[in-house]
Each structure stands twice: as structure tokens, then as C-alpha cells.
């Protein structure tokens, strides 16, 4: 079938935003409260999660609700090495004034005071700043920023009594540290000096955003912001709704077994749910039904897409030690404590700190809770197990083989079984029936919905999901080849 309703790819809005109902309800209530009373009821929110979870899509849904209420919305993207947040905000203000937006034109003077910047209206002049470009830029004042935002909100309400101003920031963890302290001070200034201002703030960031804010000098970020951690995986019911409802709106139904296969293989990871559903749609002849055969074909196509576009390229750009780190994490099951990972790799925990920080920054792993690390992408685990040994043999570094990692994991498990002081640790999560996997890429192969069976000798068993920590290592697949067989 043509014209798939699914939207794979970074930054694309899914056709159905599933699993975010509570957030949207809370935002709607917050809109009503701020409209009625101002900043004294505002809850500036930062959604944190690994990439591919739908943070930006949720913030865009906040934007839609706010615009329906009559709010003006200014949205900026934080990017390392690019224009500052204030600079981006000024450019947005300039563009709105150029477009003839009354509130922004009337607030021009307030924005002019920001660091002595003057933007023109009516096409006179090409830029924003009027100072000599070789002169250092004066630091912006949080008081002036708070005044400018409050002024815009006030001007909006002259035209739309239920309106105000919403400021949205994407990838806030990438902003310059000075911008973060300026923004925090301005929002705090709105709370104290402009309690009646109808100004709201929403942002998205990676899981380490809280630490970034602290390192930038923001005092008690959790008191200023509602830092909400978005779950990595959708619940099965939400995942099913996301793919089935999108098709239903186009007059197409999914066979239950077909939907089950896509949900199981994607683990409910939103980005990959869209990839698998999209490829299944494209593989289906239609006209009005997606079958288990279509899902099998879609899985095969999606696995090739993921290996070519994301898993393979990222694996190749990792350093040898980074590959060893994530392979050890995959052997354990995708999530574990830093202490257990160090034992698994046979290395001091202190020697892993820099690797851990670099992999967090790249988005390969995240910290689900203090002292733990987890793979961000569920299907990366099987891929790592299928390809690590081949990469290890090519490496000039002395990397630990998967078999030794397994033995270390078994040593940890045996020690805990004899530890009478912590009997609850003896419980190992029950494993689901294995899903057949491709030996070279470690990704699922077509063959229908998952069914119980006994793995053949040498066959790669299904890895637990990243959300299912375990100390029972999976079987190691045979060495990878250079080809792709599905």
C-alpha cells in the first residue's frame, strides 16, 4: 500500500501520540490555571528521555493546545556551537514583527533592551544587532528577558483575553551554560516580579539534562522546573493503539497477530514502532487488511533499514572500548548497575566513567536510576551480541570476549544465590518465549508471531528487553559475516 500514515525518522510527529494522555491532561489543566491567575500557577516543564521516545512530539502537542487557547508560541532549538537561546528568541521576535504580528510589534521596545539589541521592522536592515560586529556581545540581562516575555504576553491578551505566551526549547541540554543560567533566572524573575504574567515554558532534553542544569549553576533545578522523565517504552496497549488507530483512520485494519509481532519486536520503543509499522504498511498489498504475512515482510525490511541507517553506522563509529562497554551491557540483558557491569567487563569501575559519560552524551545509553545504566535502543542488544566478536577480532586493543563476559555474569549470579542477606535478589525475571533472530545481525527474522520453542545448538536466543534487568546471559550467536541474510 502507498502513502503510509506512519512517520519514521527523527523529529517527525507520529500520527497517533499514544501513551501521553496524562501529560496532555496535566498541560490542559495548567493552561486553564495560568490563564486564570498567571505565573503563580505555572509549572515550567522539561520532558527528559533518550532520543526516539517522542519528547518533541509531546511538546508540539503542548503547543497545539496552547495555540487553541489563544497563546502565542515561540519555539527555539538549542544546538551546541550555534546561536544562543536569546539570539534565537530575538530572531523569532524579529520574524513575528516582520510578519505584522501586533503583539510582537508592540513589544519591540522590550526586546530592544535585551543586551542593547535593536531589530528592525519593515525590511530596513538585514540583521538584528546594530552594534559593530567586532565588538563583544554584552551579556543579556535576565530582568530584561523577563520583562520582554511578560510584555509579549500582556500584548497578546489585548487581542485574545484567554491567551498568553508559551516558550518552547528543544534539546535544552545542548544550550550554552550561560544561556541556561540566564533562562532560569528570567523564569524565576517572572515568578517574583511578574506573578500575573501569562507566560508558560516547556522544553525537551536528554536524560542527563538535570545534571547539565546543575553544572551550569542553576540552583535546585527540580524546584524551578517540573522535570518529567518520559518512559523509554510504551505499554503494550498504548503501542497497539499507536499503530492500529493510525491505520483505522485510513480504513485499514491490522490482524491481531500482525500487531502483536510488531509490538514484540519493537519492544514498544516509539521510534522503532514507527519503522516496523511503516515497512509493514509498505509491504502489504491491501487494500484494507494488514496480515501476519505482511508483518513478517515488514519486519525483514525494517531490520535492513535499521542496520543500514542507525545500528551499523553507530557501531562502526564507536571506539573499541565503547563497543566493549555496550557489549557487556548487552550480555547482562541491556540494563544493570555500574558495579555489575565493571565485574562483567573485568575492569575497575573507575575506569568506565569516561566511557559511560561519552556514551550517555551520544545517546547510546542512559541512566534509568542512580547507579544504573541501560541501552537506549532495545534492538541494539541483539545486534551487539551478533557483531561484537567480529569487531573484537579486528581490533588492535585487548578486548574481553563475550564468553568471558558471560562467565563473569554467571559468577555474579552464583555469588548472589548464596548470599542469605539478600534473598530477594535471587529472583530472576521470567523470560518470554524466544523470538527467532538473524545470526549475523541479531535482529528478529520473519516467521510469524513469537511462539515457544527450544533454540537449536549455537542459535542466538532472544535478549531480554532493556527494561528487564537480569543476570542470566543469553546464548552468544555465531560470529557475524559481512552479508545480510533475513
| Per-residue model confidence as pLDDT tens digits over 155-191 | 899 999 999 999 999 999 999 888 899 999 999 999 9
Fold of 21-229: Rossmann fold (3.40.50)
List helix spans (H) across 38-84: 55-69
* Least confident range of 114-118, 332-336, 447-451: 447-451
Q: Is 442 exposed, middle or buried (0-12, 13-18, 19+ CB in 10 A)?
A: buried
List helix spans (H) across 70-176: 85-98, 102-106, 108-112, 142-159
DSSP bridge pairs for 290: 254
Mean pLDDT, to the nearest integer, of 314-342?
95
**CB contact set of 477 (below 8 Å; sequence gap of 6+):** 385, 386, 437, 439, 442, 458, 459, 460
Percentages (nearest 5) of helix, strand, coil residues in the chain: 50, 10, 40
* Least confident range of 20-29, 128-137, 220-229, 371-380: 128-137
Q: How many alpha carbons lie under 13 Å from residue 323 in its C-beta half-sphere?
A: 29
> Do the beta carbons of residue 239 and residue 266 sit within 8 Å?
yes
SS3 call for 184: helix
Instruction: Please report which confidence band the pLDDT of residue 454 belongs to, taking 50, 70 and 90 as the band edges.
Output: very low
Mean pLDDT, to the nearest integer, of 223-242?
94
- CA terminus-to-terminus distance, the chain: 22
> Do the beta carbons of residue 242 and residue 270 sit within 8 Å?
yes
**For 349-392, where are the E strands, in sequence order?**
365-366, 372-375
For 412-438, what is each residue's pLDDT tens digit?
A: 988 888 764 545 544 444 434 444 455
Domain 236-313, CATH number (from 3.40.50, 3.10.310, 1.10.3470, 1.10.8): 1.10.8
Mean pLDDT, to the nearest integer, of 79-99?
72
Q: Which residue pairs from 182-185 have beta carbons closer than 8 angstroms and sit at least 24 positions apart in sequence?
A: 182/85, 182/86, 182/139, 182/140, 182/142, 182/145, 183/85, 183/145, 184/213, 184/218, 184/221, 184/224, 185/142
> Do the beta carbons of residue 463 and residue 330 sit within 8 Å?
yes
Neighbours of 110 (CB within 10 A): 20
The alpha carbon of 180 is separated from its chain's Cα centroid by a whole number of angstroms, namely 20
| Whether residue 9 has pLDDT greater than 90 | no
Q: How far apart are CA 368 and CA 376, in angstroms?
A: 10
For the entire predicted model, the pTM comes to 0.79
Q: Do domains 21-229 and 236-313 have the same CATH topology?
A: no
For the chain, give every domain's residue range: 21-229, 236-313
Nearest CA among 42, 153, 36, 160 for reference residue 104: 153
Using a pLDDT cut of 70, give the percent of the chain over it: 79
Nearest CA among 307, 313, 318 for reference residue 359: 318
Q: How far apart are CA 144 and CA 232, in angstroms?
A: 38
Per-position DSSP letters for 204-252, written without gaps between them: EE-TTHHHHHHHTT-S-HHHHSEEEEPPSS--HHHHHHHHHHHHHTTT-
| Whether residue 284 has pLDDT greater than 50 | yes
Amino acid at each position: 500500500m502507498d502513502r503510509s500514515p506512519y512517520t519514521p525518522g527523527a523529529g517527525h510527529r507520529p500520527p497517533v501520540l499514544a501513551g501521553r494522555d496524562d501529560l496532555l491532561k496535566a498541560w490542559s489543566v495548567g493552561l486553564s490555571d495560568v490563564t486564570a491567575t498567571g505565573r503563580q500557577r505555572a509549572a515550567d516543564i522539561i520532558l527528559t528521555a533518550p532520543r526516539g521516545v517522542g519528547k518533541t512530539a509531546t511538546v508540539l502537542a503542548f503547543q497545539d493546545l496552547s495555540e487553541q487557547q489563544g497563546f502565542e508560541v515561540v519555539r527555539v532549538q538549542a544546538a551546541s556551537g550555534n546561536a544562543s537561546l536569546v539570539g534565537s528568541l530575538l530572531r523569532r521576535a524579529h520574524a513575528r514583527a516582520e510578519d505584522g504580528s501586533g503583539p510582537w510589534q508592540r513589544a519591540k521596545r522590550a526586546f530592544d533592551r535585551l543586551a542593547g539589541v535593536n531589530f528592525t521592522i519593515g525590511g530596513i536592515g538585514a540583521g538584528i544587532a546594530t552594534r559593530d560586529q567586532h565588538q563583544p556581545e554584552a551579556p543579556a540581562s535576565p530582568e530584561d528577558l523577563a520583562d520582554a516575555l511578560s510584555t509579549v504576553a500582556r500584548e497578546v491578551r489585548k487581542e485574545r483575553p484567554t491567551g498568553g505566551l508559551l516558550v518552547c526549547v528543544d534539546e535544552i541540554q545542548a544550550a550554552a551554560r550561560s544561556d541556561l543560567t540566564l533562562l532560569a533566572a528570567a523564569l524565576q524573575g517572572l515568578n517574583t516580579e511578574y506573578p500575573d504574567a501569562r507566560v508558560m515554558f516547556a522544553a525537551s532534553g536528554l536524560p542527563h539534562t538535570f545534571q547539565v542544569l546543575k553544572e551550569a549553576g542553576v540552583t535546585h533545578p527540580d524546584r524551578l522546573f517540573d522535570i518529567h522523565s518520559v518512559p523509554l517504552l510504551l505499554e503494550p496497549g498504548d503501542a497497539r493503539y499507536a499503530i492500529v488507530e493510525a491505520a483505522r483512520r485510513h480504513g485499514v485494519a491490522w490482524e491481531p497477530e500482525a500487531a502483536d509481532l510488531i509490538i514484540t519486536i519493537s519492544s514498544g520503543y516509539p521510534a522503532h514502532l514507527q519503522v516496523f509499522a511503516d515497512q509493514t504498511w509498505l509491504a502489504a498489498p491491501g487494500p484494507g487488511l494488514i496480515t501476519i504475512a505482511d508483518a513478517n515482510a515488514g519486519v525483514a525490511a525494517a531490520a535492513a533499514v535499521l542496520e543500514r541507517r542507525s545500528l551499523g553506522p553507530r557501531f562502526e563509529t564507536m571506539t573499541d572500548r565503547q563497543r566493549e562497554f555496550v557489549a557487556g551491557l548487552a550480555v547482562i540483558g541491556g540494563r544493570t548497575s555500574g558495579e555489575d557491569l565493571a565485574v562483567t567487563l573485568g575492569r575497575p569501575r573507575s575506569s568506565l566513567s569516561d566511557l559511560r559519560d561519552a556514551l550517555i552524551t551520544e545517546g547510546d545509553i542512559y541512566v534509568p536510576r542512580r547507579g544504573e545504566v541501560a541501552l537506549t535502543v532495545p534492538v541494539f542488544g541483539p545486534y551487539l551480541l551478533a557483531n561484537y566478536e567480529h569487531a573484537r577480532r579486528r581490533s588492535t586493543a585487548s578486548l574481553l570476549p563475550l564468553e568471558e563476559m558471560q562467565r563473569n555474569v554467571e559468577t555474579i549470579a552464583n555469588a548472589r544465590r548464596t548470599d542469605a542477606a539478600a534473598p530477594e535478589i535471587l529472583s530472576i525475571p521470567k523470560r518470554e518465549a524466544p523470538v527467532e533472530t538473524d545470526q549475523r545481525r541479531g535482529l528478529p527474522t520473519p516467521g510469524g508471531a513469537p511462539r515457544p520453542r527450544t533454540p537449536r545448538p549455537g542459535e542466538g536466543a532472544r535478549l531480554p528487553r532493556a527494561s528487564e534487568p537480569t543476570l542470566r546471559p543469553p546464548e552468544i550467536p555465531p560470529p557475524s559475516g559481512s552479508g545480510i541474510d533475513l
